Structure 1
Amino acid sequence: MEAWRVFATVLLAVAGIVIVLLTMAKTRDRTNATSGLVALNGAISFTILAVLCVLTLTVLAPTVAWIVVGGVGVTVTVMLLAS
């Protein structure tokens, strides 16, 4: 396993956990959703994050992996600044 893959996956996971929590909070606040809908959105977000982490750790090309990490980082930054 290459070191850059592990580093990229760790960065993706840290930013991803924040984005999962922000997604759940925004679902609850904006739609006055029930706890079931909030949990469903959290589960969907976490599943997408897990798939991206596994792909980054195993098969994605370096350029694509770093673009995904950067995109998630920018998304988290924008969501934090907008809230």
Structure 2
Amino acid sequence: MDLVGFHPRSLDEKGRLVLPAIFRADFSEHAFLSLSPRGPYVAMHTEAGYHDMIERLRAQVDAGALGLNLLRRIGSGTEPVRVDAQG
């Protein structure tokens, strides 16, 4: 699943980032926010999507196509988050 489109976001009064309604059905209660391996931005993943990405990156590290530091940077820069009913 790709989160596409331009969706201006800001934090609400409780410091939460609101997920656009169009994407809420794709996420259960959990999501992962991580540093993107493709650029200087934050990526949001479903739980399965995050684990799939990490496995693909590990395979590339094992094959010598990527350095281990990138995998470490993504792992250390990832936070599990809870998606509430308001998104």
Higher relative CO (Cα under 8 Å, sequence separation at least 6) belongs to 1
Query: Do the two structures share a fold, i.e. TM-score over 0.5?
Result: no
- Which structure features the higher share of helix residues? 1
- Which structure features the higher share of strand residues? 2
Q: TM-score range by the shorter chain?
A: 0.3 to 0.5
Scaled by the length of structure 2, the TM-score of the pair is: 0.35
Scaled by the length of structure 1, the TM-score of the pair is: 0.36
